Amino acid sequence: MDNNDNDSSSKKNNKFKNSKNNNFKNNNNIDDFNNKLNNKNVNYNKKYFINFIIYFITIYVILIALEKYISQILSFLISIILNTDFSENCIVYGNKIYTIISACTCSLEIALFTGYVLGTPKIDIKYKLLYSLFGIIIINLANIFRIISIITLNNRYNILNYSFIHDTLSFILFPVALILNILWIYILKKKGLIVK
């Protein structure tokens, strides 16, 4: 009987030790899992950043090459909206001539936005292209609104400094692109395409 008690207490101790070892192993497994997850997130972020840089530079170079034509298209569209004359990239409004230069094409904002969207890893290209097209349209509409506002405010309130109006209203493009990027992440999270 004494022997059985020792056997039973030794079995209990072994079970307790095994249980402790299993818990220790489970904790190690959890730590290993967390380390792998952190490494995976770091790799994902690196890939995202590299993709963003590649897409941003590529798109920006293409847009810079097309800025002359984009400014002419903007001049044409704005002249139609304002019901006024234009020539190439110049708009005649009131008694003034406004020139749509390459900086007015919002190439930087479009390149940043599309680089951000197209650079997103593990997302189907059709979603990226659809959202990029949507964002480019929104950014261009905001840009057209900005240019029209600058022209009409400057023409109507001649006392205001043109540079002040231009610089103040030009600020709206970056927040528009930023909001579109935030919306992109929100949509991806809602659809379950990226982890929250």
Digit-by-digit pLDDT tens for the chain (196 residues) are 555 555 555 555 555 555 555 555 555 666 555 555 555 566 777 888 899 999 999 999 999 999 999 999 999 999 999 999 988 899 999 888 899 988 889 999 999 999 999 998 888 899 999 999 999 999 999 999 999 988 888 887 775 677 777 777 778 888 898 899 999 989 988 887 776 5
156 is catalytic: no
Cα–Cα distance between 127 and 184 in angstroms, integer?
10
**Of residues 90, 104, 106, 156, which has the active-site annotation?**
104
In sequence order, the 6+-apart residues with CB closer than 8 A to the CB of 123 are: 188, 193, 194
pLDDT given for residue 15 in this prediction: 55
- Closest C-alpha among 138, 147, 143, 87 to residue 117: 138
pLDDT given for residue 77 in this prediction: 95
- Closest C-alpha among 186, 131, 153 to residue 82: 153
104 is catalytic: yes
Residue with tokens 């261009």: 140
